[in-house]
Structure 1
């Protein structure tokens, strides 16, 4: 069986790195993985994880999803420009009150998370249509179907991704193409650590006292605990994605975290949209003790089942 050419973006760490390695180490050697990143100076972690697959079933290439020329140059460098499976993973996060974020910062998130995907598809979709074969896999988020407190711009970018793909999926069927949205909940990775650390540095002077207090003493205070309770590892998400890629008829949407599913289900239970908003409000402001107790219970279960992990870097590490 011929190998499938897989192009993955955002492979310097996290889900992209884990997924590139998982596919490259496939026992059946079904994939030739082109793992890309914006800055090749950050390739060391991927090289180490790839091991013997490097130069065999995995190659590392430069690709900046915010640069059309970079996207084209990368695709042009592939044998016959062929991409059988495109995995759009590169992303940018941002948390905090919108009063404290600049429009340029917001545009950067949209440019990476939404237009980055659009640039990739403009380059690879025409060839997939000609061949009438291909699988477009997008690492989205549960925040692409349900907004979360102080993730306004990030959620907006993922909502855009979901709407774009939902529209495109109808056209894709005509060309025998598959589109799959992978929707993780919290994932403990360098991506999330950076978002958290940037959140700690936000200048809250432009926010009113109530909003600043909500962000600092409710959102940030519970951030790490939420990830410890609900969080997956990048390897967990990579395994889910691997299964989607190897399915004959992959679904359009797939949530990777069953612990988070009841929260997203609220949105579909109420066509008016009030139920999830009111539920989250009550959890945060009226039943915060019950919410924290639930988090502690989930955290305990996870601690018993595997080593606990944290968004905070190991203080003993050199």
Structure 2
């Protein structure tokens, strides 16, 4: 059986790296992975993760999703320009009060997270439609379903992706194409570490004291705790992505974190939209002690589960 050509974006670290390595190391060798990144000088981590596959089931190429020319050059370098599976993963984050963020920063997030996907599809979709074959896999986020405090612009970019894909999916069906949104919750990666560090460096002088304190004393203070309690690894997300790719009837939406699913379910439980907003408000401002205790309890359960599993193997 011929290998399926898989183009993955944003592979220098995190989820993109994990997906590229997992597909390239597939024991049945079903994929030829074209792992791309904006800056090829950052390829060392990927090479180390899948060293035995480089030049065989893995090729590393330059691609900047913010450049139509870069995308075209990369696709032209793939035999017959044939992309069977597109994994659109490249993205950037932004947290903090909007008063402290420039419009240019916001535009950069939208240009990368949303228009980056649009540029990829403008180049790759026509051939998929002509062949009536292809699978488009987008690494979205639960924040494309439910906005989170101080993630306003990032959530907006993911909401744009989700709405765009809901519309496109109807057309895709006509051409026998598959379209899947992978929606992780918190994922422990270099991406998140950089977002947190940028948040810590943010100058709060452009915002009122109450909002500044809310960001530093509530949001940033609990950031690590949330990730330690609810966070997945990039490798876990990669396994979920592989299962979606291999599914006979891939789902349109797939959330990767069962611990986070109850929070996104609130969005669908109340047509008025008040329930999730009211719930998050109370969690943050009225029941913060209970919320933190719950996070610590989940963290303890996960630690004990891991310990139990490890001891069982030895």
**Coarse TM-score class (shorter-chain normalised):** over 0.9
Residue 274 in structure 1 maps to residue 253 in structure 2 = no
Per-residue CA distance 1:55-91 (angstroms, 9 max, x = gap): 0000000000000100000000000000000000000
Q: Deviation at 1:163?
A: 0.2
Q: Hey, what does 1:87 align to over in structure 2?
A: 87
Q: Hey, what does 1:147 align to over in structure 2?
A: 147
SS at match of 2:55: coil
Tell me how large the CA RMSD over aligned residues is. 0.6
Residue 16 in structure 1 maps to residue 5 in structure 2 = no
Q: Hey, what does 1:31 align to over in structure 2?
A: 31
Residue 67 in structure 1 maps to residue 81 in structure 2 = no
Matches within 5 A, 1:232-311: 232-306=232-306
Q: Hey, what does 1:6 align to over in structure 2?
A: 6
Q: Deviation at 1:155?
A: 0.0
Q: Hey, what does 1:173 align to over in structure 2?
A: 173
Q: Deviation at 1:4?
A: 0.3
Residue 186 in structure 1 maps to residue 186 in structure 2 = yes
Structure 1: 4+ residue segments shifted above 4 A: none
Residue 107 in structure 1 maps to residue 107 in structure 2 = yes
1: CA distance, partners of 2:92 / 2:53: 28
2: CA distance, partners of 1:102 / 1:305: 44
1: CA distance, partners of 2:278 / 2:187: 25
SS at match of 1:306: helix
Matched residue count: 307
Residue 159 in structure 1 maps to residue 155 in structure 2 = no
1: CA distance, partners of 2:213 / 2:229: 23
Matches within 5 A, 1:108-127: 108-127=108-127
Q: TM-score, normalised by structure 2?
A: 0.97
2: CA distance, partners of 1:25 / 1:281: 44
**Gapped runs of 5+ residues in structure 1?**
308-318
2: CA distance, partners of 1:40 / 1:285: 44
Per-residue CA distance 1:203-248 (angstroms, 9 max, x = gap): 0001101100000000000000000000000000000000000111
SS at match of 1:61: strand
